[in-house]
Amino acid sequence: MKTKKGFMLRSVGGRHVVVAVGKASEEFNGLITLNDSGAFLWNALAEGCTYDELLAKMLETYEVTEMTARAGLDQFLETARGAGLIVDD
């Protein structure tokens, strides 16, 4: 899976936001604010990752249990999919 073309992560005033650019901005009005772990996941998805790769990256980077990492990852992916921000390969 990866981020959908036309959406970019930007840092604005010390906050992470995803904004639509180009043609995507005609269909998506607004922005999505991400916390640090959300921005971390967004950057990993920009390169293209499987679920297992994302989970492994989270476990390598953050001091959390696998259950906590899975819960956070699942919530992030559900929200991102619901907003149409990621696509499955």
User: What is the predicted pLDDT for the residue at 12?
Assistant: 87
Confirm if 23 and 79 have CB atoms less than 8 A apart: no
pLDDT at 89 over 80: no
Instruction: Say which residues have a Cβ less than 8 Å from residue 59's Cβ, sequence separation at least 6.
Output: 66, 69
Residue 73 CA to residue 31 CA, distance in Å, equals: 20
Average of per-residue pLDDT values in the chain: 92
For residues 58-72, average pLDDT: 96
3-class SS of residue 18: strand
Is residue 2 within 8 Å of residue 45, measured between CB atoms?
A: yes
pTM of the predicted protein model: 0.89
pLDDT at 16 over 90: yes
The CATH number of the domain covering residues in 2-84? 1.10.10
Q: Which residue has the higher pLDDT, 12 or 43?
A: 43
Domain ranges across the chain: 2-84
Q: Check residue 52 and report its DSSP letter.
A: H
23, pLDDT greater than 90: no
Tell me the two tokens of residue 58: 């989270």
